[in-house]
């Protein structure tokens, strides 16, 4: 998907390669901002947790998650 930033796709690919012998089911994104990387990783992991020190970013990410589902 060309609408995704290359660094998010690269992050997801790297995570998969690192756990090829033992698939990871959960991921943690520190400094998630508005959640773009979190949403991309959700397609490859069972559970993804994003944390950020900016409550405004966390609120925006939550709103997107609720809207998108």
* Residue 52 banded pLDDT, cuts 50, 70, 90: very high
Q: Sign of the C-alpha dihedral, residues 61, 54, 37, 12? A: negative
Tens-place pLDDT, residues 21-51: 777 788 899 999 998 888 888 888 889 999 9
pTM of structure: 0.68
Beta-bridge partner residues of 51: 30
Torsion of CA 31, 37, 38, 43, to 10 degrees: -160
Radius of gyration of the chain (CA): 12
Identify which has the larger pLDDT, 57 or 41. Answer: 57
């Amino acid at each position: 998907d060309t609408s995704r930033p290359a660094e998010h796709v690269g992050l997801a690919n790297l995570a998969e390669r690192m756990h090829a012998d033992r698939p990871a089911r959960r991921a943690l994104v520190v400094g998630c901002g508005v959640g773009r990387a979190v949403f991309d990783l959700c397609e490859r992991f069972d559970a993804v947790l994003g944390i950020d020190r900016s409550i405004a970013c966390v609120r925006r990410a939550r709103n997107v998650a609720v809207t998108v589902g």
